A and B are shown apart, each in its own frame.
Chain A
């Protein structure tokens, strides 16, 4: 485990588009769980995390257009304004793509620190749009960006484990 955390690069199967789509769908479903009360403030943005993962690890498979489309779906389900999530996710995907070489250089601990500003940026964009249109802002919303950042390492390990070639297939 420790080995995996320290070394991000390893041999992986080529990811299929279906796997990417499925991971994004699962992230959307996780976001749509009925979060309530205090949990709502701590709710991490799984979609942002998974998008950022794909943008940094497979920048040619997942780009800003996919991020935008996923954002529109999130907008409809959340009944937020059209384009609010889409804008935040586009910015997030762009920053992920621009910094993908830099992020992949580091191990997971360092990556977490690298990822935090990106997620914070996406959260800020979302909150800023709301603030511009409605004139109010609730600060506990930003707790979510910290929780999301803490989940970066588990999500990365999970997605990489799913992409790793299975030992059994080698022996056959």
Chain B
């Protein structure tokens, strides 16, 4: 650098070192602001609108490929799929009929107990635009955004279970954090015995971890975990994961439990966004606790 100094005949502005310091400080400031506060969301969504056509353009080849692939699906596999789906459909119809009766009965019982009703959740279909290319982030982008009334915090699922949660909304896109993301946690209940726990992502697409479960707790291989709904964000009763490995080492206070997500977290192209959150965003959190506690107490009292 110092050798360059006497040779400077032209004014080229500040030296690279000065510029580096300036831009590094600027980046660090942006990082700090982005992590601590949420001021930059509007800039981000503005830029994303500019980049949206480009991103569409880039995903076009793979989309075309998928469409061509779909087009040349063989006759046999279509027939097979159709028969399978028909079978499944008849089975489902039988169960659905029962469901209607059960629903009515449930409503009646809840009325009798004067317990809050469980709401139905309208959903909308969205397609995956692309999967995050950042190896650190387990995120996907869907093609519905604020224009389709998607809100941050809404739940995304496929036909078999929960996939993730909307964490950021752009005008025509929304960003989904998968349940397998390292920072993501879902409050769950074991379907078999009602044990409550929190399942969190492990950063690996095929694995979830149940942490801080005492060794003595009743969890077995193959247990199904469903959302408990007591957090007020996830609607209750949706399947999340299945326990695949339980290790009870007396040397540690907590059992080592691994689960596999039930939904095809990294398989599907079409996903469902539950469009109505259980009206919690407006309410303060204290109220949430009391309203969700009531059914429990009511149930206990009823028994």
Interface residues of A (CB under 8 A from B): 28-29, 31-36, 40-41, 43, 60, 63-65, 67-68, 71-73, 76-84, 86-87, 90-91, 94, 97-98, 127, 129-130, 133-134, 136, 138, 140-141, 144
Contacts and interface: CB of A to CB of B under 8 A. Distances in A.
Interface in B125-142: 130-137, 139, 141
Interface string B149-186: 00000000000000000001000000100000011000
Nearest to A140: B135
Interface residues on B, range: 35 or more
Interface string B27-42: 1111101110000100
A133 B139 CA distance: 17
B44 A76 contact: yes
A79 B47 contact: no
Interface string B11-48: 01000110110011011111101110000100010011
A65 B23 contact: yes
Contact of A94 (B20, B33, B62, B131): B20
B27 A31 contact: no
Contacts of A136: 136, 182, 203
Nearest to A29: B58
A90 B183 CA distance: 28
B55 interface: yes
B51 interface: yes
A133 to B, nearest CB: 6
Given A32-B58, A68-B27, A63 B137 contact: no
A39 to B, nearest CB: 10
A98 B71 CA distance: 53
B57 interface: yes
B137 to A, nearest CB: 7
B30 A82 contact: yes
A134 B16 CA distance: 30
Contacts of B141: 79
Interface of B: 1, 12, 16-17, 19-20, 23-24, 26-31, 33-35, 40, 44, 47-48, 51, 54-55, 57-59, 61-62, 130-137, 139, 141, 168, 175, 182-183, 203
Given A84-B27, A94-B16, A133-B31, 4 more contacts: A34-B131, A81-B35, A83-B29, A136-B182
Given A32-B58, A34-B131, A87 B24 contact: yes
B27 A83 contact: yes
B146 to A, nearest CB: 16
- Which of B29, B51, B141 has the most CB atoms of chain A within a 10 A radius of its CB? B51
B135 A41 contact: yes
6 contacts: A32-B54, A34-B130, A64-B16, A72-B47, A81-B35, A136-B182
Nearest to B63: A34
A163 B47 CA distance: 31
Given A43-B133, A130-B136, A76 B47 contact: yes
A82 B31 contact: yes
B40 A82 contact: yes
A87 B31 contact: yes
A33 B61 CA distance: 9
Closest 3 CB pairs of A and B: A83-B30, A87-B27, A83-B27
Given A90-B24, A94-B20, A129 B137 contact: no
A33 B133 CA distance: 8
B82 to A, nearest CB: 29
A28 B51 CA distance: 11
Given A60-B12, A73-B51, A98-B1, A78 B134 contact: yes
B183 A36 contact: no
Contacts of B62: 33-34
Contacts of B203: 136, 138
Contacts of B137: 78-80
Contact of B55 (A35, A77, A133, A141): A77
Nearest to B46: A76
B134 A80 contact: yes
